[in-house]
Structures are given as C-alpha cells and as structure tokens.
C-alpha cells in the first residue's frame, strides 16, 4: 500500500550539513518527497510533538535537544513508507543500528540520532498534520 510518513532531520543532522545526504538515501530507496520545510521548534512545540513520551525519563532532555536548533520536516511517500522509513533509519540507538542505516552512518548517540520517522499509520497522520496543511502535500503527478 502506498503510504505517507513524517520524517525529521534532527538538529544534529542539520548542524553537520547532512540534509542532502539524508534525503538522497531516502530517494535512492524509492521514496518521494511530497512536502518539505526547515524550521526551529520551540520547547513547547517539541513537548507537544513528543507528548506520547511525557512520562519517559528522557522527555526533558529530548525536547530541549529538539528545540536547540533548526530541523527539517518532510513527508515521504511510497510503498509501505512507514515501515520502509523505519528500516532505512535503523534502531534508535546508533550503536544497535544495522550497517548502512542512516542512524548507523550518522547517529551520534541514542538521543542525537539524526532522524525521526513515524512509527504507525496513526502517528504518521498526527505527525504530518503537526507540520503541514493539506495544501502543502503535493503528490508528484
């Protein structure tokens, strides 16, 4: 099934000039960019985006980090895009991520792991709407 998913290039990726490299990896795997923007989240926006993690011990540090500098948010489309993107990103902890995954290639640590990808259709729907209006989602043809 053709799906859409929300991807972020996190502050560590933008800061190290990896925007193009990360997008290229997704494009080479057949995913298409249907929406794209660079922005900086406020602390409150980061807390809202990661609200499902509000009880977790890493929530405060994560939301400080995610609001510490610019990010790139994008919507990718393709066959089974949600699970495909998760596979291409690799495990949360770069040390545990498989060879060739984005987090293995570029992740710095379990927090600064370069990319985010939605984990389910429900998350994808919520996270896409967090950043983009319907009018900003442009299919290729």
> Of the candidates 21, 83, 111, 125, which one interacts with ligand UDP according to CB under 6 A?
111
- Among 24, 92, 129, 136, the residue binding ligand UDP under the rule CB under 6 A is 92
Question: Using CB under 6 A, which of the segments 39-47, 74-82, 94-102, 109-117 binds ligand UDP?
Answer: 109-117
Binding residue for ligand UDP, selected from 18, 35, 62, 97, defined by CB under 6 A: 62
Rule CB under 5 A: is residue 119 a binding residue for Mg ion?
Answer: yes
In the chain, how long is the greatest CA-to-CA distance? 44
Q: Is 116 labeled as catalytic in the residue annotation?
A: yes
Among 4, 47, 112, 116, the one annotated catalytic: 116
Number of residues that bind Mg ion (CB under 5 A): 1
Query: What is 7-68 written as a DSSP string?
Result: EEE-HHHHHTT-HHHHHHHHHHTT-EEEEEEEE---HHHHHHHTGGGTTSTTHHHHHHHHTS
Q: Is 93 helix (H, G, I), strand (E, B) or coil?
A: coil
Distance CA 135, CA 16 (A): 31
Q: Compare residues 16 and 126 and give the one whose CB is closer to Mg ion.
A: 126
Residue 8, beta-bridge partner list: 73, 116
Stretch 31-60 residues interacting with ligand UDP (CB under 6 A): 58
40 burial level (CB within 10 Å; 0-12, 13-18, 19+)? middle
104 binds, among Mg ion, ligand UDP, none (CB under 5 to 8 A by kind): none
* Residues that bind Mg ion in the complex, under the rule CB under 5 A: 119
* Residues that bind ligand UDP in the complex, under the rule CB under 6 A: 58, 62, 92, 110-111, 113, 116, 119
């Amino acid at each position: 099934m053709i799906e859409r998913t929300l991807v972020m290039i996190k502050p560590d990726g933008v800061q190290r000039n990896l925007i193009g490299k990360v997008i290229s990896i997704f494009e080479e795997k057949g995913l298409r960019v249907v929406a794209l923007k660079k922005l900086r989240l406020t602390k409150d926006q980061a807390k809202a985006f990661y609200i499902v993690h509000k009880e977790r011990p890493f929530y405060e540090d994560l939301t400080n980090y995610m609001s510490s500098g610019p990010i790139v948010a994008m919507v990718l489309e393709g066959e089974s895009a949600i699970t495909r993107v998760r596979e291409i990103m690799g495990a949360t902890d770069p040390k545990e991520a498989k060879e060739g995954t984005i987090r293995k290639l570029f992740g710095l640590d379990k927090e600064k792991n370069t990319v985010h990808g939605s984990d389910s259709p429900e998350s994808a729907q919520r996270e896409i709407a967090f950043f983009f209006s319907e009018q900003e989602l442009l299919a290729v043809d």
